[in-house]
Structure 1
C-alpha cells in the first residue's frame, strides 16, 4: 500500500502529538555592477550568470539558525557565499526604508512569492513597495535545491483526486503543473533574464515496490489530462542516471530545474523596471489597520497601504496574524562538489535532475562548471556543516560509487515549513484593505510559489478566482509550532523508518 504525502502529514501529526557569460563582460562593467546600490526608482540589473562559481564572501544576511560553508574558509573568515550567490555577478543592495510612504500595495518578504506578486501587481499598474528584512535571496527562495516538480506542496495528483471533484482536481493540478512551469518561461522571456532553466525531471525508485506508487501517480495524472509522465524500467533509466541502486523511474517532461537565486533576481529586476520599489534591511515590526488603510511599521518608517498587503514570509506569518501558526519549520541542506573528475554527463547523460523515493529524499543535478549539486535531509534542529557534509558525501558515494572519493566545495542549510495537511496554506483577510498570505511549502514549490504570486495579483484585480481556489483548504493550528519541530520531526522520522523496515514497499518521502 502506498502512503501518500497528505496521509504522511496526518500520521505525522498523530505520532508527534499534534545571462550573458560574465567572462564576456569588460572588467569595468563588472566592477560597476559590484558597486551598484539600487535606490528607489532605479531598476535593478538583470542577473548575470558566471561560467563557474568563485569563492567569495556572502553579501546576504542570514537567519542566525542557518549557515554557509566553503572548504577554503575558516571560522574566523567572513561568512562565505553559497554556490548560487558565488555563481552570479554581484548585485545591488537597495537600502532600508527611511521615512513614511504611502502606496497601493505593500509586499512583506523578498522571496519568490513576494517578488512574483510585486511584479504582477506592478504590471497591472499598481504602486507597489516591497520590503525585505535581510537581503533579496537570503531566505529559502535563494537557497533551495532548484528542482521544479509539479504539485502543490505535498499534494500530488492522487491526493487532489482523493479530496476534490474531478473538475476541481484537474483545475488545481493544471495550476500547479503546466501553468506554473509555463509562467517561469514566460516571465524570463518577457523580461529578458536568464536563470539556467532546463526542462524534464526524474523520480527514481529505490525499492521495486515503489514502482507501483509511481505508476499510480502517473495514472492519476492521466486522469487529470496530464500525459507528461511515463514510467521506465531500470535498463532504460541507465540512459538518464548511471547508478545501479534504482529499480525504475517516472520520467516527467513537465518538471525541470532552475538557478533559484537568478530566478529571484530576475523577478526583482523586472519589478523595478516596472517602477516598483524595493527596500532591504527593513524588518516589519507590526501591521496595523486604521481609517486610512493598513499601516506596515518598520524601524525606519511607516508604509501606508491603501489597497492591500501581501505576506510572503513563510513561518514568520504568525508574527503578524492572530492565533496559532499552521506550520512547523524544519531544516534542509544542499551541497555542491568541486568540478568533477569525470564529465557530469557520465553520471547524468540527459542532464535531468533527480529525486528518489526513499524516506529521506536525495535530490541532485548537474550544474555549471561540471559540478554536482546534491541535497537532502529534513531535520528538526539545524545540523552542523560537518554532520551535513558527512551525510551528503555518504549519499553521493551510495548513488555514484564510480566517483570513488567525492568532495564538497560548498554546502549550506535552509529553513522550510510544513502544514499538517501537506498542502500550502493560502489566506485572504476580509478587511477593507485585505491581507494576502501563503506559506507551508513543505520543501516543494519553486514554480508554484511564482504562480501563486500571479494568482494573488489576479485575485486583487478581479481577473480570475484562482487564489480563491487555494484558500478552500482547512489547516489545523499548531500551538508552539516553532518549538515542536525539534521534538516531533525526529520522532516521526524514527517511527516511519521502523515502518519502512517492516514494509519497505510502502513509499513515503519526507
Structure 2
C-alpha cells in the first residue's frame, strides 16, 4: 500500500493533527453484522452520507480502513469555495446551460450545508467567512474579471472585483495583479470539522468502525456482503467513499473506478505563530486565498495567527525533497517579509483527480445497489457534504439530483497503469510552463 505508507509518514508533522483533539477510538468490525447501508470510508463524504442516512431512518454502519479523517478530509487546505474543481464550461458542454445552473446552485448549497452542520452540531472548527481569488499577471487578471462577469450574469452569483489599485487593501504582497472576493465561501480547520461530524454521526446512532479495511465485496440480488479482516457486514445498499485509497487498499473491490482517477500529492506548510496584528496585516480580511495559476498556490491565516500555505504538488507520487524548506521558499514568493519566520509544520498526502476535474458520482453498472463518490479533485471540503446528502436522497428513492451529477462522463487517464503517471507528469509540466510565462 505505497500511497498509504507515504501518507502515514507525511502526516506525522501535520498542524491539524497537532491541534485537533481526537475522541475515543472506534472498534474494528468483529464477527457478522447487518445494516441497511454500509459506508466505506471515514472521511467527509462517508460521514456526511452516514449522518443524512441515519436522519432518514436507515440503519448505517461505516467502515474505515485506518482512522477517521485519515485521508484528504483531515489534512487539506481547509478552503470551502464556490463551484467545482473544473470550470463551469466543462459542465455546460456535457449537460447544457440549464443543468449547469443547477450544478452551480448545488455548489452554493454545499456551502450553506457546511455552515448549517457546524451550527447544528456545534462543531468548533475555526470557521471564517471569505475567499480571495487573485491573478498573478495582467493577462490572468483580465481572464479572472471576465470569468467573474459571466458567473454574475449567467449564474446570478455576485463577486466583488478588486482592481490593481485596490490589491494592497486586500493582501500585503506585490505578487498579485487583481482579484475577486467572495464573502460566502470561507475556511476552517478540516480535521476538527471531520471529528465533529464523526461525533455527530455516532450520537445519532451510526456504527463507526476504524481499522476495518474492506477486503472483498460480494453483491447479490438483495444487497451485498463486505468482507473485512475480522468479520463481515451484510447490507442492502453500499456507498464506496474511499476515493483514491479505495484502489490502494482493495484494488479488486471496484476495479472499473480506478482508471478514471489519479493520485496527486499535495503539500502544505504552517508557520510559527505571528501574532494577531502581523497575521491580519498580511490578509486584512483573514479570507482564504488562491491564485489563478493552473498549478495554484493557496493559503490563509489560522485561528492562532499562523500562515498556512499550500502550493507544491507531485503528479509522480514522489514527495518533494526537504519539504519544510521547499514550502517555506514557496511561501516567501508571496510574502518575502516572512523571511525570518520558521515553519513549524509541513505535511501532505494524496487527493484523487479526474481527467476533466469534475466529480465522479454514480452506481456500479453490474450492481446498482452499490453507489460511489470520487474525483473531488482537490475541491471537496464543501462538496463532500452535499455529495453525502445526494446519496442519501437517492438511496431513499429520490435520485434526481444524484443522477444529474452522475450524467457527467469521465474518460480513463491515458497510458494504462504503466504509463498514465509519466503521461500526467509531462502534461502538467506544460501547464507549469504556461504559468511561468504569465
Structure 1 stretch 375-384 or stretch 392-401: which is displaced more?
A: 375-384
CA contact (8 A) 1:314 1:417 kept: yes
User: Where does residue 321 of structure 1 map in the other structure?
Assistant: 254
User: Where does residue 232 of structure 2 map in the other structure?
Assistant: 302
User: Where does residue 414 of structure 1 map in the other structure?
Assistant: 349
CA contact (8 A) 1:106 1:128 kept: yes
CA contact (8 A) 2:48 2:197 kept: yes
Q: How many residues align?
A: 430
Q: Structure 2 matches for 1:23-422, cutoff 5 A?
A: 63-67=4-8, 80=12, 82-152=14-84, 154-176=85-107, 178-290=108-220, 292-306=222-236, 308-318=237-247, 319=251, 320-323=253-256, 325-340=259-274, 343-384=278-319, 386-422=321-357
User: Which secondary structure state, in structure 2, belongs to the residue aligned with residue 65 of structure 1?
Assistant: helix
Q: Which one has the bigger helix percentage?
A: 2
CA distance in 2, matches of 1:248, 1:479: 36
Q: CA deviation at 1:485?
A: 5.6
CA contact (8 A) 2:47 2:198 kept: yes
Unmatched 5+ residue regions in structure 1?
1-61, 70-78, 505-510
CA contact (8 A) 1:205 1:247 kept: yes
Q: CA deviation at 1:483?
A: 4.8
Q: Structure 2 matches for 1:414-453, cutoff 5 A?
A: 414-429=349-364, 434-453=369-388
CA contact (8 A) 2:413 2:420 kept: no
CA distance in 2, matches of 1:360, 1:210: 13
Q: Alpha-carbon deviations, 1:476-496, whole Å to 9, x = none?
A: 134776654641233112222
User: Which secondary structure state, in structure 2, belongs to the residue aligned with residue 449 of structure 1?
Assistant: helix
CA contact (8 A) 1:169 1:224 kept: no
Structure 1 stretch 181-190 or stretch 106-115: which is displaced more?
A: 181-190
1:482 to 1:67, Cα distance in 2 relative to 1, 3 A? farther
1:234 to 1:67, Cα distance in 2 relative to 1, 3 A? farther
CA distance in 1, matches of 2:44, 2:419: 26
1:256 to 1:410, Cα distance in 2 relative to 1, 3 A? same
Unmatched 5+ residue regions in structure 2?
none
CA distance in 1, matches of 2:293, 2:382: 23
CA contact (8 A) 2:265 2:319 kept: no
Q: Alpha-carbon deviations, 1:146-166, whole Å to 9, x = none?
A: 0111222x2233433344322
Q: What value does the CA root-mean-square deviation take over the aligned residues?
A: 2.1
1:235 to 1:66, Cα distance in 2 relative to 1, 3 A? same
User: Where does residue 465 of structure 1 map in the other structure?
Assistant: 400
User: Which secondary structure state, in structure 1, belongs to the residue aligned with residue 22 of structure 2?
Assistant: coil
